[in-house]
Amino acid sequence: MKELKTASDALALIKEEKVEVIDLRFIDFPGIWQHFSVPARSLDVDDFEGGLGFDGSSIRGWQSINESDMLIVPDPTTGFIDPFMARKTLVVICDIRDPITGEDYTRDPRHIARKAESYLQSTGIGDTAFFGPEAEFFIFDDIRFDQNEHSGYFFIDSEEGAWNSGNDEQPNLGYKPRYKEGYFPVPPTDSLHDLRSEMMLIMDEIGVPVEAQHHEVATGGQGEIDMRFAPMVEMADRMMKYKYVVKNTARRYNKTATFMPKPLFNDNGTGMHTHLSIWNGGENLFAGDGYAGLSEMALHAIGGILRHAPALLAFTNPSTNSYKRLVPGYEAPVNLAYSRRNRSAAVRIPMYFTSPKAKRAEFRCPDPSCNPYLAFAALLMAAVDGIMTKADPGEPLDRDLYDLPPEELATVPTTPASLREALERLDGDHEFLTKGDVFTDDVIETWIDYKANEAQEMDLRPHPWEFHLYYDI
């Protein structure tokens, strides 16, 4: 599909491709796409300028019912033909505006991300922040869960699950990845290769360039598809397309995909290692002659990320389930340190490539339960704050952090152990986010209140393991 730049381009494409339906999508506060559709014939240039109305009070974390009217404004540059709809449909990602003032809505995550990009440019540090998230996911064959006043359970099944090795499948053909041994096996052990390849090729068709796809470490159908890096807002848009393609391609084959960070006990969880670099005038400012080939600016950026990481995690790891992944021994880093090559450090400097253009910092804590617009914006703001304040990242730790002696390990800061703790850290450390009015106080307060409610709902409910521990007391 040709690149769209203007509303006229989008309208011309609608005619050329004989599009019947326009699907207008936007991201809600927690991070899930919402949409409504209109007949293609009803959309005109004015709609790309003035927007269309909808009820903002029905969207999580947004307007009260007495201030419900909002505008959705299509961004023509984001359009793509939906590969899953029966009737030809053009999807357009949208921004949100206030219908009275005409201003961008301060709680619109896409608007917050755009402000973060503008803030970077206003500082004179650089003109572009490139992001490259590595989002993992699971593909299951069956998922059941329920919670009520007298029972609670979940049940997961996968043809690949190691727990099915002894199951009478008539016939059981074996070749099920062992726990923590699912990284890079060829078929037949990797039974999902063709499905991931289809996902990869569909992404490419809708404008999401992909570098590679592969099975991941865990049993039970864990996979990863790596996107090529892009400017921040564009990459957040791609992340939403990525999730959409993964979920719907799986559904096409009667399977179900999830980006939940820790669906399986006692095996690796699902992360979203996120690569970041800052550029100016086509030059990568993170490349230099310092440690691991980094510039002084890059080291200061890492210092900012490490300093603000406990607060950052409220956005990059925003679910109660996130902190069941962030535990020692599963490759998810809990120690706030940096290193080249060392995957047990919170920030890693990849050493695959020698080209200065490839130099970047990889923040390994995030997971794909996050809202990518908010997570990327917060990460950029932490890096910029580190650059502006010349934050010292300390000495690198090039050993396996999990093997450090207790007295040494005690000196290394760690990630929060729960969502509630991350929210508390955000409450006490968010000035770096409000610079340039990128995150308003209202956005931060609303986020903390919304997520604290999720934590409270978890606290209220008995857990199945508690019966194992305490029923006979």
Question: Which positions are annotated as active-site residues?
Answer: 55, 134, 136, 216, 224, 273, 343, 362, 364
Q: Which H or E run includes 24?
A: strand 21-27
Side-chain half-sphere CA neighbours of 182 within 13 A: 29
Bridge pairing between strands 338-340 and 347-349: parallel
What burial class does residue 354 get, using C-beta atoms within 10 Å of its C-beta: 0-12 exposed, 13-18 middle, 19+ buried?
exposed
> What region, left, alpha or beta, does residue 207 occupy, with left being phi > 0 and alpha being psi -120 to 50 degrees?
left
If DSSP codes are grouped into helix, strand and coil, which group holds residue 262? coil
Largest CA distance in the chain: 71
Axis crossing angle, helix 232-252 with helix 193-205, rounded to the nearest 10: 130
Interatomic CA distance for residues 298 and 318, integer angstroms: 26
Number of H helices, E strands in the chain: 13, 18
Residue type, 116: A
Interatomic CA distance for residues 338 and 358, integer angstroms: 18
Interatomic CA distance for residues 456 and 31, integer angstroms: 20
Interatomic CA distance for residues 89 and 80, integer angstroms: 8
Contact in structure between 350 and 275 (CB atoms under 8 Å): yes
- Give the closest residue to 246 by CA, choosing from 218, 275, 273, 213: 213
CA dihedral 347, 352, 355, 357 (to 10 degrees): -40
- Buried/exposed code over 25-55 (b: 16+ C-beta within 10 A; e: otherwise): bbbbbbbeeeeebeebeebeeebbeebbebe
